[in-house]
Amino acid sequence: MTFSALASALSGVVDRVEGLDARFIVPALLLQLATLGLRAFAWRNILTAAYRRPIPVFSVTCAYVAGAALNGFIPARGGEAAKVALVRARIPGSSVPTIAGSLSVVCLLDGLISGALVGTLWATGAVPSLPLPPLPDPRQLVTLLAAGVALGALVVAFASTRCSFRLRPLLSSIGAGLVVLRSPRAFVSGVLPLLLGAWACRIAVVYLALHAFQIDAGVTTAALVAVLSGASAAVPVPGGGGSQQVFATYALRGSVSTAGAMSFSFGMQVGVTALNTVAGLVAAMVMFRTLRPLAALRSARARAA
């Protein structure tokens, strides 16, 4: 994102803030909190299945919200490490690999749900086909594939002979975090509906934010913006800054000008980050039993280091 584009977006945000409709903003903020709560509750149910004992909802929720707040400031979703560390400190007898494995279930399902949404939007014509880069020569592909298979076989052989005694306990611990995937009843009743509900809330947040910025767009456009905003988190910059604006410009093409799309995306990103930060600070203050927000934030960030 260039400085001129950023300055234009900031100017557009300032101009549009004056015309924001609180009838859309207030429910959008509440739904954003609901998104965090549903995702935290789903993670708690995955941990319950992993450890086969009740896991405190409050502790997991505080850890999840605090980590989500750090994701807005630490590149490449570094707040995920804080979630794992905070939950590890709150669950006696727990292990980092198992907790990380349980959190990977949430990430995996997020990817599957977002992929299904993109596929549905493409099938309905909401997402046009994108130009594909030219494919390499088939002979080169076969050579690269053979080299990759050979290298993978060497790595597996080395690991099995030299490191198996170390890898087995680690893999077993990670597998414990994935145990909910082998329990259809627990997965269908306690995980999938909550994550689907979180995605519905997320799309509703985008839809309401679009209308708060006086952008006439439908649910399909809001879903596309939500999916692409989530994908931008993979960019190794805090909060996916810049990439969100690029993706929003693509998703809102035809509905609003480029400057309007960037202004909307920047404004929504700032609003969601601010709300997540406030909620995360409150959660960290409760977890670390302090009334000093900065001290709580430093403690939470230290866990992620």
- For 184-206, write each residue's pLDDT tens digit: 899 999 999 999 999 999 999 99
Q: Does the residue 157 lie in any domain?
A: no
Other C-beta atoms lying within 10 Å of the C-beta of residue 16? 17
Q: For the chain, how many structural domains are there in total? A: 1
> Residue 229: pLDDT above 60?
yes
Q: Does the residue 135 lie in any domain?
A: no
Q: What is the pLDDT of residues 205-221, one digit of tens each?
A: 999 999 888 888 888 88
Q: Does the residue 72 lie in any domain?
A: yes
> Residue 42: pLDDT above 90?
yes
Contact 209, 271 (CB under 8 A): yes
Q: What is the pLDDT of residues 92-147, one digit of tens each?
A: 888 889 999 999 999 899 989 988 988 888 887 766 554 444 545 565 555 666 66
Q: Does the residue 240 lie in any domain?
A: yes
Please name the residue that has the structure tokens 């077993």: 172
Nearest to 77 by CA among 42, 107, 40: 107
Range of the domain at 216: 3-128+169-304
Nearest to 102 by CA among 185, 168, 183, 200: 183
| Residue 88, helix vs strand vs coil | helix
Q: Does the residue 140 lie in any domain?
A: no
pTM of the model: 0.79
Give me the amino acid identity at 263.
S
> What pLDDT does 213 receive?
86
Residues 6 or more apart whose CB falls under 8 angstroms from that of 183 comprise: 49
HSE (side-chain half, CA atoms, 13 Å) at 81 = 10
| Assigned token pair, 217 | 């767009």
Which range of 34-38, 86-90, 109-113 scores highest in mean pLDDT? It is 34-38
Q: Does the residue 158 lie in any domain?
A: no
In the predicted model, what is the mean pLDDT of residues 43-48? 95
Percent composition of the chain: helix, strand, coil (DSSP 3-state, to 5):
80, 0, 20
What is the C-alpha R_g of the chain?
Answer: 21
HSE (side-chain half, CA atoms, 13 Å) at 235 = 17
Q: Does the residue 145 lie in any domain?
A: no
Q: CA 222, CA 149: separation in Å to the nearest integer? A: 41
Q: Does the residue 50 lie in any domain?
A: yes
| Assigned token pair, 43 | 């993670």
